[in-house]
Chains A and B, each alone.
Chain A
């Protein structure tokens, strides 16, 4: 069941607003990476993922792993908005004793796996997908990776493994915003030709504008892209998407908006006060 694009756009805007308010409140990092994948998360949590917030450990649920665990704020927002825990709890993000840690934590309802150290999530998801296959079950595993994360050699082990074992219930989504921790991907460690690399390893690849909800919905509703092969969706995104002064800026991997900049950001997103 896929909801219409008006709904997904409304959710994406709400998630962006939450993430901005959350990082602003505690002067946290990583708003740029949250905004780059906001649309991907909104589409996934608008009906692509088969989940039941009332029963987050249902055996046949789809699994989502945020391997780029530093984008926690936007996923916490999505889980709260879809009923896994109260929206009010988002106000505790990164505060003393909050379970909403700065990197994603599985102690939060709806979060499958804690990450934060990059290069772990895809292997975790591969193990899950293999268990599912061997049990003749039908759930899927979605793993969201950052582009910079692909520097980690550990990713290329499951990238090699999953096609060999024909894990077509495994989906990798690359949030390809072209900026990593200390420079652009091109400057630091180029991934290109990224599509050809995944293809050479045996994945079925699609590329998409990671902010085009219709395209995201269409692709993520077509899993597997090809029977017998794992799927990877390379989502071309803009770091800081939706806030003019954050877009394509390395600084907003680290900075948090002050009151004035928060107001501007919310105005640009059409959130208002």
Chain B
């Protein structure tokens, strides 16, 4: 995803000279292509996320469209008040990009796990929140962010995620994308859990359960119309996210309650306790019961023989 992100950003920057990229001394082997091509619109702020973020606000205040870039929680949590006060309250076009969201930096340990980012960013005023599910979605949200006149947050995966969509999806801000049709249950994924959702759907098909797979790269604004559609179709929804409380499941639960929808919900998300052991992303997901096998075993209980 990060490769598609930087390719897309370079394309956008070639078309729009307002676009800047500011990093917090991270981005080795990723950002060089932008740095070398647009040196006057590139900045390494140093290992100083607070300054990076508020300087980005100052740049945006002066007419720039600024993407800030660092890994996992660093561009979000360390500088949350800077994002709130300086970016969001001033409604400035700063696009906060976190690469390696969720448990992507698995073996590095929990200092490098970005697992509360969606909860804290989605409640900020003027903020648009994206968590793309594959490189195609990453390209779409990177483009969309440039055209949004205010702040955005983009949680990217790390590298090497497969394309799930066969071609560029029909992306719209705040809309859910259909990846696979099905009639019995909806698997709604955000971010990098999309591949897991498809695997789950396949396992469910083997048991005769028809699963629809949806991807929600937009979390704020969120697609309320799709929730109504689910309320009139599968009536069962499993949310999949590599995030703790306050993310996708919470958003869906709010919509079910607020819109009085007839939908049963199972949330698949990270436990609140931090992950205190090393491991690959896949292994750490399994510790949080987010492996496809664990997910489908819980879903089976909804469908007794």
Which residues from chain A sit less than 8 Å from chain B, CB to CB? 59, 106, 112-117, 119-120, 123-132, 134-135, 154, 157-158, 160-161
Neighbour of A120 across the interface among B45, B54, B61, B64, CB < 8 A: B54
CA distance A120 to B54 in the complex (A): 7
Given A113-B90, A114-B89, A134-B41, does the pair A123, B54 have CB atoms closer than 8 Å? yes
Neighbour of B51 across the interface among A59, A112, A126, A128, CB < 8 A: A126
Cβ contact within 8 Å between A114 and B82: no
Given A117-B81, A120-B82, A134-B40, does the pair A128, B58 have CB atoms closer than 8 Å? yes
Cβ contact within 8 Å between A157 and B59: no
Cβ contact within 8 Å between B55 and A126: yes
Cβ contact within 8 Å between B90 and A114: yes
* Contact residues in B for A127 (Cβ distance below 8 Å): 54-62
Cβ contact within 8 Å between A125 and B58: yes
Most chain A C-beta atoms within 10 Å of own C-beta, residue among B57, B62, B64: B62
Neighbour of A117 across the interface among B60, B62, B64, B85, CB < 8 A: B85
B86 within 8 A of A: yes
Closest to A128 in B: B58
Neighbour of B55 across the interface among A106, A130, A160, CB < 8 A: A130
- Least CB distance from B124 to A in Å reads 15
Given A131-B63, A161-B45, does the pair A126, B85 have CB atoms closer than 8 Å? no
CA distance A124 to B50 in the complex (A): 10
B residues 61-79 in Cβ contact with A at 8 Å: 61-64
CA distance A59 to B46 in the complex (A): 28
Closest to B56 in A: A127
* Contact residues in A for B54 (Cβ distance below 8 Å): 120, 123-124, 127, 154
Q: Per-residue 0/1 for B252-295: is the Cβ within 8 Å of any A Cβ (1 yes, 0 no)?
A: 00000000000000000000000000000000000000000000
B43 within 8 A of A: yes
Q: Could you name 12 residue pairs across A and B whose Cβ atoms are closer than 8 Å?
A: A113-B61, A113-B90, A120-B81, A123-B86, A126-B55, A127-B57, A127-B60, A130-B55, A134-B40, A154-B82, A157-B46, A161-B45
B48 within 8 A of A: yes
* Contact residues in B for A59 (Cβ distance below 8 Å): 63
Interface class of chain A by DSSP: helix
Given A117-B81, A131-B63, does the pair A126, B58 have CB atoms closer than 8 Å? yes
* Contact residues in B for A161 (Cβ distance below 8 Å): 45-46, 48, 51, 55
CA distance A126 to B57 in the complex (A): 10
* Contact residues in B for A114 (Cβ distance below 8 Å): 85, 89-90
* Contact residues in B for A119 (Cβ distance below 8 Å): 50
- Least CB distance from B277 to A in Å reads 32
Q: Can you list the 9 inter-chain pairs with the closest CB atoms, starting with the nearest?
A: A127-B58, A127-B55, A123-B54, A157-B51, A131-B62, A157-B48, A128-B58, A154-B50, A124-B58
Q: Per-residue 0/1 for B87-125: is the Cβ within 8 Å of any A Cβ (1 yes, 0 no)?
A: 001100000000000000000000000000000000000
Cβ contact within 8 Å between A158 and B51: yes
A/B pair count, beta carbons within 8 Å: 82
* Contact residues in A for B85 (Cβ distance below 8 Å): 114-117, 120
Closest to A59 in B: B63
- Least CB distance from A221 to B in Å reads 24
Neighbour of B57 across the interface among A124, A134, A157, A160, CB < 8 A: A124
CA distance A159 to B275 in the complex (A): 36
CA distance A158 to B202 in the complex (A): 52
Given A114-B85, A161-B51, does the pair A123, B46 have CB atoms closer than 8 Å? no
Cβ contact within 8 Å between A124 and B62: no
Q: Per-residue 0/1 for B172-215: is the Cβ within 8 Å of any A Cβ (1 yes, 0 no)?
A: 00000000000000000000000000000000000000000000
CA distance A115 to B58 in the complex (A): 13
- Least CB distance from B91 to A in Å reads 10
Cβ contact within 8 Å between B86 and A120: yes
Given A154-B51, A157-B48, A160-B46, does the pair A123, B41 have CB atoms closer than 8 Å? no
* Contact residues in B for A154 (Cβ distance below 8 Å): 50-51, 54, 82
Cβ contact within 8 Å between B90 and A106: yes
Closest to A105 in B: B89
Closest to A158 in B: B51
- Least CB distance from B15 to A in Å reads 19
Closest to A125 in B: B58
* Contact residues in A for B48 (Cβ distance below 8 Å): 157, 160-161
* Contact residues in B for A134 (Cβ distance below 8 Å): 40-41
* Contact residues in A for B57 (Cβ distance below 8 Å): 123-124, 127
Cβ contact within 8 Å between A123 and B90: no
CA distance A154 to B48 in the complex (A): 8
